[in-house]
């Protein structure tokens, strides 16, 4: 029995840039069997994680002006950035909050097309959330 347990506790490399990354993205539902992006799954994931990041900003920042300034800088940088760079800007937001990159976002990082599509959707939803915050404030 000990041998079986040892086999299950071996760790495999976790690298979004290795040969098995596409298969993992497929199992996650982000890529179809032909390698194309599953738009519905990517849309849901980007909305969920942008909402969580927005909530983290709200929990971390002292006031809404601070949140607005952080997001303004992100949006300005994103306007000038290539899709892959937009993805990196999102990663930097997690770093700024001293939070680890969520696993699905980590795995997306290994696929340039997927990362760019994710970033576009993520930032678009984040803009909707920040505009809604501006409307609800006095």
List the structure tokens of 13: 């490399």
Say yes or no to pLDDT of 44 above 60.
yes
Mean pLDDT of the region 31-44: 94
pLDDT at residue number 10 = 53
pLDDT tens track for 107-134: 999 999 999 999 999 999 999 999 987 7
Helix axis angle for 39-60 and 83-96, nearest 10°, is 30
Predicted model pTM: 0.84
Radius of gyration of the chain, Cα coordinates, nearest whole angstrom: 18
């Amino acid at each position: 029995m000990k041998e079986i347990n040892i086999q299950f506790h071996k760790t495999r490399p976790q690298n979004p840039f290795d040969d098995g990354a596409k298969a993992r993205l497929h199992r996650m539902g982000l890529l179809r069997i032909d390698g194309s992006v599953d738009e519905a799954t990517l849309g849901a994931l980007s909305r969920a994680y942008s909402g969580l990041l927005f909530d983290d900003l709200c929990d971390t920042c002292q006031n809404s002006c601070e949140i607005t300034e952080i997001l303004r800088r992100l949006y300005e940088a994103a306007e000038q950035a290539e899709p892959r760079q937009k993805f990196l800007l999102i990663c930097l937001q997690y770093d700024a909050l001293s939070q680890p990159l969520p696993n699905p976002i980590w795995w997306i990082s290994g696929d340039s097309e997927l990362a760019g599509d994710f970033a576009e959707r993520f930032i678009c939803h984040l803009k909707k959330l920040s505009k809604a915050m501006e409307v609800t404030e006095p």
